[in-house]
Chain A
Amino acid sequence: MKAKVHVMLKQGVLDPQGEAVKHALGSLGFEGVNGVRQGKVIELDLADGTDEATITDMCEKLLANTVIESYRVEML
């Protein structure tokens, strides 16, 4: 089984990389880009039967830093 973990900076935490990407899009001539947030996607290849609580535990302990990041688990 597989799962995807989406890690994003929390709302309200300034994302310097997202801001830089936004400015770069503007300088390429793309108009109307009001905001860019950059995160990461982590794909997990897991033993069958791994429950979502275990994946949540992985996120809390390592995959996300919950001081600044939020995460969302997508079971595939």
Chain B
Amino acid sequence: MKAAVIVFPGSNCDRDMAVALRSAGADVQMVWHKDADLPDGLDLIAVPGGFSFGDYLRCGAIAAQSPICKAVINHVERGGYALGVRNGFQVLTETGLLPGALMRNAGLKFVCKSQALTVVTSDSGFTEGYNAGAVINLPIAHHDGNYTADADTLAMLADKDRIAFTYEGNPNGSANDIAGVLSENRRVLGMMPHPERSVDIHHGGTDGQALFRAVVGQLTSA
């Protein structure tokens, strides 16, 4: 199973993402943002956290226009899997691959802590390793994680079971406590919490492991 991690200037969770994917069994390549093409036979693209392009204009806005993002969009349009974490989630919303937008946290502060989340749906390649309704703990570390979408979009996300995770005790003002959302075909997941920072006992928790094992397992057997 082949995965790629996209690296932008300012990415800082790219290596953690690669470690998490490798430990779940993936063959991982790092891809620089100026590359116009992705490696052949790719199953999963991970867009990591960080501060791509210094968060200039809006978080993720410049990264979303980079050459590699056109290739990411093509990969997703062909039915490929993609995972965006934190800044990666912001990039995926800026490309239009996921609905909504991530605004400045309602409390205006950068929040950095372990956060309890509810797994809302187990019906996706990313979340099938959890029980729906389970509460897990993942680190959060962001300044712009306040998920916003119009009322129709929020209703549609709930109706189509596309909310992957919600916060227990909303840390950033996100609409409906939303921490992560799925694409219509359920193969793209964007989330603010960091599963890749919770895959080793020395991280202080391993609740992120199930996500990587599920998606790598799913794409290995496919």
Please encode chain B, from 60 to 80, with 1 for each CB lying within 8 Å of some chain A CB and 0 for all others.
010001000000000000000
Main secondary structure, interface of B, reads: loop
A62 contacts B57, C-beta separation under 8 Å = yes
Given A16-B173, A62-B65, A63-B57, is A68 in contact with B104 using a C-beta cutoff of 8 Å?
no
Cα A62 to Cα B56 with chains together (Å): 12
B104 contacts A67, C-beta separation under 8 Å = no
B101 contacts A67, C-beta separation under 8 Å = yes
Cα A16 to Cα B111 with chains together (Å): 15
- B residues near A17, Cβ cutoff 8 Å: 104, 108
A16 contacts B101, C-beta separation under 8 Å = no
- B residues near A13, Cβ cutoff 8 Å: 103, 148
- For chain B, the bracket of interface size reads 20 to 34
For residue A44, CB closer than 8 A to chain B, the reply is: no
Cα A68 to Cα B93 with chains together (Å): 12
- A residues near B57, Cβ cutoff 8 Å: 62-63
- A residues near B106, Cβ cutoff 8 Å: 14, 16
A68 contacts B108, C-beta separation under 8 Å = no
- A residues near B104, Cβ cutoff 8 Å: 16-17
Q: Give min CB distance, B100 to chain A, whole Å.
A: 6
For residue A75, CB closer than 8 A to chain B, the reply is: no
Cα A62 to Cα B101 with chains together (Å): 14
For residue A65, CB closer than 8 A to chain B, the reply is: yes
Given A65-B94, A67-B93, A68-B103, is A16 in contact with B146 using a C-beta cutoff of 8 Å?
yes
- Taking Cβ atoms with an 8 Å cutoff, the residues of A that contact B are 9, 13-14, 16-17, 20, 61-63, 65, 67-68
Closest 5 CB pairs of A and B: A67-B101, A68-B101, A16-B106, A16-B104, A65-B101
